Amino acid sequence: MVTCALDYHDEKFFGLAKADAELVGLNGKQWCAPTDQMRDDNAAQIMSLKRKFMLAEWGVAEGGVDVAVEDGVEEGKTEE
């Protein structure tokens, strides 16, 4: 079940809504509600795309220096 506030506007749900069917090469009649596995796979793809865009924005090539940021603190560094 798709709920407006929790799913439809969640970036990890991009491409899975019926309104997004054309974006992924389907017409409305071919669309079906996503399974939990489809949601998990899609979320992983979206996160991968975000990571690639962030690396490109920082000027770091894929496979180069990997900086993970969580809660505003770079991995391996401590807050001062």
pLDDT of 70 strictly over 90: no
Whole-structure pTM value: 0.59
pLDDT of 77 strictly over 50: no
Q: What is the DSSP letter of 64?
A: S
Domain assignment present for 31: yes
- Cβ neighbours of residue 1 under 8 Å, at least 6 residues apart? 33
The number of residues in the chain equals 80
Closest alpha carbon to 43 in 1, 12, 76, 6: 12
Closest alpha carbon to 18 in 30, 6, 4, 35: 30
pLDDT confidence of 53, banded at 50, 70, 90? Answer: confident
User: How confident is the model at residue 44, as a pLDDT?
Assistant: 93
> CA–CA separation, 15 vs 18, rounded Å?
8
Q: How many structural domains are present in the chain?
A: 1
Domain assignment present for 79: no
In which domain, by residue range, is 27 found? 4-74
